[in-house]
A and B are shown apart, each in its own frame.
Chain A
Amino acid sequence: MKIAVLVFPGSNCDQDMYHALKNVLKQDVEYVFHTQTSLSAFDVVTIPGGFSYGDYLRCGAIARFSPIMKAVKEFAESGKLIIGVCNGFQILIEMGLLEGALMRNEGLKFVCNNVDLRVVNNKAKFTQQYQENQVINLPIAHGEGNYYCNNSTYEQLKSNNQILFEYVNNPNGSMHNIAGICNKAGNVLGMMPHPERAVERLINTIDGLGVFESFLELKNQ
């Protein structure tokens, strides 16, 4: 299985994602610069956190026009797996691969902390290593992670089991405590918490491993 880590100007969790996948999970990983145009060599694409294009205009709004994005869209349509974390989640929303919007945190301040999350759906490709309703602890670090969508979208997310993670104590004002969702087909994940920061006991919890091990397990089946 070959995994891509996309790099935009201003990405700053790209090396963390690479380190987690390569050195901790011992996977075959490669950086893909935003100017490239093909993802045909890869089985999974990760869009890391950071401040792509400085997050000027609106988080993720400029990254969606990068040359690589056409390939990302096709990758999603082909049913292959995409994970967007933090700024990656914001980019996936701006591209229209995930629904809703991420607004300024309710407290108007950047929040960096570890938070408890509930695994709402453990049947998804990214969560099957977790128990249903399991409470996990992951770091967050964002200024614009306040998830919002309209009621019909929310009903749809709910009935399709697209809500994968919710906050136990809402840190940013997200609607219905939503922390991470997937698309209807279940192959595109977006989440504000950082699973790649929680894979080594030395520096944090290891509750992020489940996200990666879930899709790695898929490949073994």
Chain B
Amino acid sequence: MYPSSEEIKTNSIYTQMGLNNSEYNLIVKHLNGRLPNYTELGIYSVMWSEHCSYKNSKNQLKKFPTTGKNVLQGPGEGAGIIDIGDDLAIVFKIESHNHPSAIEPYQGAATGVGGIIRDIFSMGARPIASLNSLRFGELNTARNKYLFENVVKGISDYGNCVGVPTIGGEIYFDEAYAGNPLVNVMALGILKHFEIQKGVAKGIGNSVMYVGAATGKDGIHGATFASEELSEASESKRPSVQVGDPFLEKLLIEACLEVIHHPKLVGIQDMGAAGLSCSSAEMASKGNVGIEMNLNLIPQREKNMSAYEMMLSESQERMLLVVEKGFEHEIAAIFQKWDLHAVTVGEVISEEVLRLFHNDNIVGEMPVHSLAKDAPVNNRESKIPEYFLKNQCVNYIPNIQHTSIEFLWKKIMAQPTIASKKYVFEQFDYMVQTNTVKHPTQCDASIVRIKNTNKAIALTVDCNSRFVFLNPEVGGKICIAEATRNIVASGAIPIGLTDGLNFGNPENPEIFWQIEKSIDGMVAACHAFTIPVIGGNVSLYNERSNTGAIYPTPIIGMAGLIEDLKFITTQKVKNVADKLFIIGNTKAEFGGSEFQKMMEGKIFGNCPDIDLKKANLLNSSLIKAIREGLINSAHDVSEGGIAVAVAEKLFDTNFGAKINNCSNEDDIAFLFSESQNRFIVSSKFEKELVEIFGDNIFLLGEIIPESKIIFGDNEIDLVELENVWKNSIEKCLKN
């Protein structure tokens, strides 16, 4: 038995669902003075959770530029849409599944993949690629290894079965994520303009149909659980973790992509976070109508489920449709072909309420706008953290004595964050659908071609959270700038981004300051590069009572357009006739670098500086050089600096390089500093490049036919270096 409305009030039971007193009073006001029953309270609590309502971040998110001449759909729907010409458009979004993955890594990660893929096909697009951005604690504890291996397996099993290639990603290992790993997944879809769908309810008397998997008791209160800090008690929230079935999802994709061509389909929305509650309330609110549902008609996995359980379940692989009255059978037939449930469970009504019937009683009646667009918004307090002020005064320069360059070079290649992610990558089917032109060990971005055109899309996910931690504003700029470099180095022009904003508890003013500042930095970068944000996800409360908050981690998922396949550019050197060049200046900047982490075991100081105007200029120049056919390979210089970038350019080729220090800094800074705005390219057109890049280009050296790197007196065997890099992660797992 659930507590009565009176008991909820008297015993403040709403606090157990993450609602505070003033929010409870607001609910009572929305209900015209009536006290909410337990089902209604549950629905309000999930709808007003950060995960669904963005109540703590809404005011910050408003700062992002979300429009542009090619933006067909900005934030607010399942995913954003960008026109790519030829009557085609791409649909993409990133989403987090952090809390579930911390408790149950396999299902947490798997359903993260499933959820974002549904967001894509609910827009009417066929999902054609996915990427992931993962953060774990160091690979030196059994727990961290368990989380890492099972997150990877969850993504692998779900993504491979559902037939959407996992074409790229990034993984960082840092103590800051030991208590609260991050699992963010980005998906991309493609559609023709006329196929675009919206999650909206329209047409009084039209039918509301439930399609897909039956509703079970899994994932109840998942959205609320995702909007609070983790603690030891979180283990008991395992039932809040959803269970995925990629086979059902595959059937749902095919059925939904068939149903969108039916002229009598009015609206379609994924049942994701907050399941049936969110999809019905949002669709009604967007259409300025109401929805009435009879919960007895909901397909159920178990007998005697309560209204509360059905409305709050986050069972996977379900969709809510609004269909023109009289055509329910035609729609249902499409789903039945794929052995899926398709049941009419209610209708669109003019009164703007969500009204729920169960066993012939009204069990809920709430104004739709109060659940969706009128959810409360919090203005949080912000405070500059002590750690930031302290770090501003520190200028870290490594003091290296009696250590050979060769030793340091090998050591940095073995750092798990730097090391080859082959162990992970080979578990993902990155080729299914036969569009994957390049995966990220070949190019800075992953590239999928668009069949029947001469175009391709470049995709990357990126966030150097160490920089964001040390200086949120500059770090926010760097995240976007680095993503653009990945896109540009692959021969593409950046056209849009989605952001996965992962932070700690916003009720802590110092955390809120990180949110505010990093978004300011990102907004400045969006303007500098003229890139719209077409959607995203906010995940707050990423902290655990004993380990504290994660680094602020705003993950950028960026898409670029390659208008002609011949512009595709890889990282790898091609021949000995070319020379190697560095584009951009190298300064001794080690704060938050991989080198600092390796030498000191921690990060401190200030992060590298970034000049956005210059970044944009160098990007445009590189795009020009690539399009003029001057560049044979290009690679962004990021974590680990030039040492890592040069090595990656040579691995998997038969070549080596003879390079020299072409900066004003010492050899350690030259090799390992993480100054921004740099690329390494190979080309035989020195004169033409100097004309384009002016004094921003430096001759790094030449490509040689032997497998070694010669740097001054140092000679490094590339086969050994590559083995260290390739085997490091598996070695960590075995130790």
Contacts and interface: CB of A to CB of B under 8 A. Distances in A.
Interface string A12-38: 110110011001000000000000000
Contact of A112 (B162, B250, B430, B435): B430
Interface in B230-285: 245-248, 250-251
A9 interface: yes
A20 B161 CA distance: 21
Contacts of A204: 431, 434
A112 B437 contact: no
A54 interface: yes
A141 B429 CA distance: 6
B247 A16 contact: no
A54 B247 contact: yes
A10 B434 CA distance: 17
Nearest to A55: B161
A41 interface: no
Interface string A80-101: 0000000000000000000000
Given A141-B432, A203-B436, A110 B427 contact: yes
Contacts of B251: 9-10
Contacts of B435: 203
B731 to A, nearest CB: 16
B247 A20 contact: no
Contacts of A51: 160-161, 163, 246-247, 250
B339 A9 contact: yes
Interface in B417-476: 425-437, 449, 451
B586 interface: no
A118 interface: no
Contacts of A207: none
A132 interface: no
Given A10-B250, A55-B161, A111-B426, A19 B432 contact: no
Interface in B595-613: none
B247 A203 contact: no
Contact of A12 (B153, B250, B338, B449): B250
Nearest to A20: B434
A143 B250 CA distance: 18
A50 B251 CA distance: 12
A202 B428 CA distance: 20
A77 interface: no
A112 B426 contact: yes
A203 B434 contact: yes
A203 B442 CA distance: 12
B433 A15 contact: yes
Interface string A108-132: 0111110000000000000000000
A23 B435 CA distance: 14
B565 interface: yes
Given A50-B163, A111-B426, A13 B339 contact: no
Interface residues of A, number: 31
Interface string B145-172: 0000000010011001111000000000
Nearest to A196: B434
Contacts of B432: 12-13, 16, 49, 141
A195 to B, nearest CB: 11
A151 B295 CA distance: 59
A25 to B, nearest CB: 13
A50 B427 CA distance: 15
A106 B401 CA distance: 46
A51 B427 CA distance: 15
Contacts of A111: 426-427
B429 A110 contact: yes
A151 to B, nearest CB: 32
Contact of B437 (A20, A50, A202): A202
A53 B338 CA distance: 11
A197 interface: yes
A9 B247 contact: yes
Nearest to B251: A9
A139 interface: yes
A139 B428 CA distance: 13
A15 B247 CA distance: 17
Contacts of B425: 112
A112 B429 contact: yes
B134 to A, nearest CB: 17
A203 B162 CA distance: 21
Contacts of A197: 431, 434
A217 interface: no
A51 to B, nearest CB: 4
A155 interface: no
Contacts of A12: 161-163, 250, 432
A110 B434 contact: no
B339 A110 contact: no
A202 B161 contact: no
Contacts of B248: 54
B431 A139 contact: yes
A202 B449 contact: yes
Contact of A141 (B246, B431, B449, B451): B431
13 contacts: A9-B339, A10-B161, A12-B250, A13-B163, A51-B250, A56-B247, A110-B156, A110-B426, A112-B160, A112-B425, A141-B160, A203-B434, A203-B435
Given A54-B161, A56-B247, 6 more contacts: A9-B247, A9-B339, A23-B451, A110-B427, A111-B426, A204-B434
